[in-house]
Amino acid sequence: MTENYDLFEHDVLVIGAGGAGLRAVISASQAGLNVGLVCKSLLGKAHTVMAEGGVAGALGNLDKKDCWEVHFKDTMKGGQFINNWRIVEIFAKEAPERVLELEQWGAVFDRTPDGLILQRPFGGHTYRRLSHVGDRTGLEIIRTLQDKAVSCGIKTYMEVTFTRLLKDGDRVVGAIGYYRPSGKFIAIKAKAVVLATGGWGRMFKVTSNSWESTGDGVMMAYEAGAELLDMEMVQFHPTGMVWPPGVRGLLVTEGVRGDGGILRNSKGERFMFKPEYMPEMYRGQYAETEEEAHRWLEDKDNNRRPPELLPRDVVARSIYKEVLAGRGSEHGGVYLDITHRGADFIRRKLPSMYDQFYALGGVDITKQPMEVYPTIHYTMGGIRTEPESCATTVPGLYAAGEVAAGLHGANRLGGNSLSDILVFGRRAGDGAAEFAKAASHGSLDERQIEEEMSLMLAPFTCEGKENPYRLTQELQEAMQEGAMIARNEEGLSKCLQTILSLQERAKNLHVDGAREYNPGWHTARDIRYMLKTSEVIVRCALERKESRGAQWRTDYPDRDPEWGKKNLIAGKEGDQVKVSTRPMSEMPPELAKLFEEGK
Amino acid sequence: MALNTAQSKEAGRVPLPINSRKDTWWIKPLLVFLGLSTFGIYATWRAFENRYYSWGPYLSPFYSPFLVIHIGHFAISPALLILPFPLIFRMTCYYYRGAYYRAFFWDPPACAVEEPAARKQYTGESRFPFTIQNLHRFAFYIAVIFIAILAADAIIAFDFNGHFGMGLGTLIMVVNVLLLSFYTFSCHSFRHLIGGALNCYSCSRSGKTRFRIWQRISLANERHMLFAWLSLFTVGFTDLYIRLVSAGIIHDVRFF
Amino acid sequence: MDKVILKVFRGDSNGGTEQDYEVPTFEGMVVLDAIHYIQINLDSTLACRWNCKAAKCGSCSAEINGVPRLMCKTHVSDMAANGRPIVVHPLKTFPVIRDLVTDVSWNYRNSEKIKPLQLAPDAPKPLVMQQMDVDRIQEFRKCIECFLCQTVCHILRNHNVKEQFYGPRQLIKLANLDMHPYDALDRREMIRKEAGVGFCNITKCCTEVCPEHIHITDNGIIPLKERVADEYFDPIQHLIRKLSGADKKKK
């Protein structure tokens, strides 16, 4: 059987149409190249719309003392120093410019009395730094970038899912996938490919991620030979919805805490004040009494931030411990209370949170506290890239946004992901454009294309009886149990065994129906990536025998300074996942000095 | 941007069951139909009746300003000359337009409900005569003049043969003119003219003032429908009250 | 009530039928949960779009009991009152691709025709705008492009004049740009001619179905109609503009 496929050609192909992909498209097309954009859903529906709280950049509109150096320090500390310092430096320096550029393209942020962009405080950020629009900042950013990209005259392939990168020798020269509506195949030839496919939260049961976050991008890169970095680092957002069951895991923005939200356990204690939850690194920088935290709401210069605004990993762990100790709420979470800010304030600053709880949970957050519990939210690990150009270790392949790694280290600060996609989306687009200008098209290997198409079509004719949805559920349960917030050798090993046996069973997947818009078929394809990504996550988590940021090993509860000097690298070797370490380059003195000054 | 979804052709739409709304969507258009029809019939009858329009200091809003024009021996009812103006204001009002397009034209009768006979060609308000709706602002200017006249009438209604007094009729006339003002000044056209047309409020001092007025009008505008119905009711009721008193069917209640 | 019957449209551009599915319910269940239950347990080929499941992306639009709604925001318990089955159909105004998925690309094609924000040459950098100047346009920017307004609008739904009328979504986009304090383009001709604002007869169904509660008609379309009236239907303003020499728009 020979399958037909459509063939298109672009100078630069961008896979993924969230913020990073769109930003990459804009800069590649501004470089004068012919650009194609592939998005898995409709344009403008990518995960970026889910971002709520704001985009971090040291504009200093409210706190004049803010500058890139402080943002740099905050980000390194939040990531517990396994971030790539050069990436963080570029990031902190360029973020403000990228935010302001959005405004030129039509984004309308909330304003200060001076008519500048309003910034809100967030966890781990020393100053008010998050430019925002109520609690729908992500929507504002994706719509702005979408309109800008469309006006650049790019070609968009909507509802097209790519499944494999095509190589010519060492170099990536295109990719193949399929049109969801028709089920037919499509291949695109490109001089350079940018991966901006986002994260992979879908292999966990309680997650704030949508069906798209299956790790297909990171696994395509892995299959193509790219190196992956610190894959064990998966962020648990401290506050996800708990009740009702249908919305379990849905995100509750950190903006709630940024705007004064208080965490309490079932005994009514504001537990974040407990000294045992305060990490050594942050001691003395946060309010120590409830009175001070309360004064901070009105006077941010003379009071310290409330401990609810510690980095996400710290808050998530504290909530986990409270619930474990039997001090949880009715449905197994803790209470997040914002009612003291008044109904007007809440409806103005947190309108979509108000709506979300009112419509989906039957809770009026202006009158009642919310119930929250940690939820899988973000993946700090991913494809290793060069700081300047976002080039991966595979020639012709670039990566930006959540799929790339290095910026966030062991824990991402809220608001840094939106500036990440802007700063490195642009750099990836430029990097790919530069490569494409100097290169000619490679040739597509028909054998690779044939191979991929028959692999994709196999579940239709497979004699086996495995159901892709069941397999997904089993994987989610295994990951939830073995690789969640508290990890240990035994749980992780058991989880790995389950994943490996599921990988075997996945060979017997069977799907019914036609190829046109068949979700069962699509799930059968997703599970392939989810299983492999899970395997890499668990293998790396087993390897890192320490606790750092999002990785909390109950059998190795302390931070190990040795592990602070290297990154975990995962790569493909034959059919095996090879996990190794790579020493980090030393921070240059002028940056290292920043941490000594106590500035 | 070129789109390539393999399915971009405007394929024939799938025939679905005509209307699967099973709720009572028809109540609202029916009420509007009955309300507007009742008022229309009553007002027409009263306009032609040409009597029982005043009693004591009271003058029916249908007959104010009281201008009698004779053609030969035949006196035309002032109401016939007067009523077209408020009628035009209401006919071109953004609220009433939507309401009567729904209740009378069934265009559509309710949301997501099939139109019984979807016309071959629909042009909405983009072709004559419906482009006239765009002149709503001029109807508004006239409506403001009528507010002034009716306000004067309401003040006169305190004058009982030179004595300051107040009857139920006075109260009704005052309430009527208040509700008519709320309706008139919550008008979409006025909201546009006073501030909606500006793009930058903070750029000038007058802009800031206009913003504050625009904000108030916007608040009132949210209740434009409510004021439309209340004032329609009171204007009819004011006339009815004066007619009944004037015809001697009931007696005016005198407060002082 | 521990079970509910869903009548879901199954078919493609050649036609289709309603099919019954029995789905167990739980507290707080939304229609999208029920659709997922069907996909996982009863029929893995049932096609629907969804992404965020939190009413933020606007993907899971469908017609539930005859009314366009987001499936992720519509409670099963509200729709199945008195044990009635829940009828789920694809958006009627757009061609069906399969089951609940429709081809909405017409909307994207029109969106593309709208010129992006063009900043006035004297605009400061960074922009200085007061909250009072942007409140209005921020309301329009809440749009999640679920296209419920487009599907409910009778001009598109019953009269299908897609060549002459862009629909509420694009009018809101135009309102956003036209009211931007620093936009330098005069968009009134486009609003009147290409976008066809005159086709709207302000029956407000778009506002009724908007999941973001944008006052599409009162705050968006009617102001646009008034702006068009300024230019094309108001001889007095025309004269004043002529006399004062302010024939260019803005500020």
Q: Which of B25, B120, B131, B199 to mutate to test the interface with C (most CBs of C within 10 A)?
A: B199
Question: Which chain A residue's Cα is nearest to C177?
Answer: A106
Over residues A219-231, mean pLDDT: 97
Chain mean pLDDT for chain B: 90
Task: Please report whether residue A405 resides in a domain.
Answer: no
pLDDT value at A540 more than 80: yes
Task: Please report whether residue A497 resides in a domain.
Answer: yes
Q: How far apart are CA C234 and CA B197, in angstroms?
A: 13
pLDDT (0 to 100) of residue B16: 54
Chain mean pLDDT for chain A: 95
Q: How confident is the model at residue B116 (pLDDT cuts 50, 70, 90)?
A: confident
Task: Please report whether residue B198 resides in a domain.
Answer: no
C26 and A181: CB-CB below 8 Å? no
Identified catalytic residue from A10, A71, A202, A257: A257
B34 to chain C, closest Cα gap in Å: 18
Over residues A544-554, mean pLDDT: 96
Over residues A397-406, mean pLDDT: 97
Q: CATH number of the domain that C194 lies in?
A: 1.10.1060.10
C96 and C109, same structural domain? Answer: no
Considering only CB atoms, which chain B residues are within 8 Å of A149?
Answer: 1
C115 and C95, same structural domain? Answer: no
Residues facing residue A305 across a β-bridge: A286
Portion 11-50 of C in contact with B at CB < 8 A: 11-13, 15-16
C103 and B11: CB-CB below 8 Å? yes
Question: Which chain B residue's Cα is nearest to A115?
Answer: B202
Portion 258-277 of A in contact with C at CB < 8 A: none
Task: Please report whether residue B53 resides in a domain.
Answer: yes
C65 and C123, same structural domain? Answer: no
ipTM of the complex, rounded to two decimals: 0.94
* High-pLDDT (> 70) share of chain A, %: 99
pLDDT (0 to 100) of residue A416: 97
Domain that holds residue C153: 105-244
Known catalytic residue: A257?
yes
Task: Please report whether residue B203 resides in a domain.
Answer: no
Q: How far apart are CA A178 and CA A528, in angstroms?
A: 16
Domain that holds residue B152: 27-116+129-186+223-246
Residue carrying the six token digits 């929250």: A372
pLDDT value at B6 more than 50: no
For A240-254, b/e burial (b = at least 16 CB within 10 A) is: bbbbbebbbbbbbbb
pLDDT (0 to 100) of residue B193: 96
pLDDT (0 to 100) of residue C42: 95
The per-residue pLDDT string of chain C (251 residues; one tens digit each, 9 = 90 and over) reads 689 999 999 999 888 899 999 999 999 999 999 999 999 999 999 999 999 999 999 999 999 999 999 999 999 999 988 788 999 999 999 999 999 999 999 999 999 999 999 999 999 989 999 999 999 999 999 999 999 999 999 999 999 899 999 999 999 999 999 999 999 999 999 999 999 999 999 999 999 999 999 999 999 999 999 999 999 999 998 898 888 876 554 44
C118 and C71, same structural domain? Answer: no
C88 and C8, same structural domain? Answer: yes
Task: Please report whether residue B171 resides in a domain.
Answer: yes
Nearest to C86 by CA among C15, C28, C149, C35: C35
For B205, phi then psi, to 5°, come to -65, -45
C88 and C57, same structural domain? Answer: yes
Q: How far apart are CA B112 and CA A416, in angstroms?
A: 43
For B142, phi then psi, to 5°, come to -65, -40
pLDDT (0 to 100) of residue A96: 98
What are A256-267's pLDDT values in tens digits?
Answer: 999 999 999 999
Portion 117-146 of B in contact with C at CB < 8 A: 118-119, 122-127, 130-131, 134-137
Task: Please report whether residue B62 resides in a domain.
Answer: yes
User: What subunits make at least 3 CB pairs under 8 angstroms with A?
Assistant: B, C
pLDDT (0 to 100) of residue C1: 61
What are A452-486's pLDDT values in tens digits?
Answer: 999 999 999 999 999 999 999 999 999 999 999 99
Known catalytic residue: A237?
yes
Domain count, chain C: 2
C152 and C69, same structural domain? Answer: no
C36 and C115, same structural domain? Answer: no
Last residue of a domain, one of A319, A341, A374: A374
Last residue of a domain, one of A374, A390, A406: A374
pLDDT (0 to 100) of residue B20: 73
Q: Which range, of A520-529, B13-22, B220-229, B247-256, averages the lowest pLDDT?
A: B13-22
Over residues B243-254, mean pLDDT: 95
Task: Please report whether residue A37 resides in a domain.
Answer: no
* High-pLDDT (> 90) share of chain A, %: 95
Q: CATH number of the domain that A299 lies in?
A: 3.90.700.10
Q: Is B190 helix (H, G, I), strand (E, B) or coil?
A: helix
What are A286-341's pLDDT values in tens digits?
Answer: 999 999 999 999 999 899 999 999 999 999 999 999 999 999 999 999 999 999 99
Q: How far apart are CA A487 and CA A493, in angstroms?
A: 10
Let me know how long chain C is.
251
Which structure tokens are listed for C101?
A: 């998925």
pLDDT (0 to 100) of residue B199: 94
Q: How far apart are CA A142 and CA A44, in angstroms?
A: 6
pTM for the structure as a whole: 0.94
Task: Please report whether residue C251 resides in a domain.
Answer: no
For B27-45, b/e burial (b = at least 16 CB within 10 A) is: eebeebbeebeebeeebee
Give the nearest partner residue to A179 out of B1, B6, B202, using CB atoms.
B6
Give the nearest partner residue to A50 out of C49, C56, C58, using CB atoms.
C56
Question: Which chain C residue's Cα is nearest to A43?
Answer: C108
Task: Please report whether residue B144 resides in a domain.
Answer: yes
Over residues B56-84, mean pLDDT: 88
Task: Please report whether residue A587 resides in a domain.
Answer: no
Last residue of a domain, one of C40, C67, C102: C102
Task: Please report whether residue B192 resides in a domain.
Answer: no
Domain count, chain B: 1
Which structure tokens are listed for A94?
A: 């360029």
Task: Please report whether residue B99 resides in a domain.
Answer: yes
Give how far Cα A78 sits from Cα of A309, A484, A547, B63, C220, Å: 12, 20, 14, 77, 43
pLDDT value at B5 more than 60: no
C55 and A139: CB-CB below 8 Å? no
Beta A5-15 vs A185-195: how paired, if at all? parallel
pLDDT value at B2 more than 60: no
C131 and C240, same structural domain? Answer: yes
What are C71-88's pLDDT values in tens digits?
Answer: 999 999 999 887 889 999
Last residue of a domain, one of C69, C102, C135: C102
Domain that holds residue A269: 242-374
Domain count, chain A: 2
For C46, phi then psi, to 5°, come to -65, 120
pLDDT (0 to 100) of residue B9: 36
pLDDT (0 to 100) of residue C250: 46
C219 and C131, same structural domain? Answer: yes
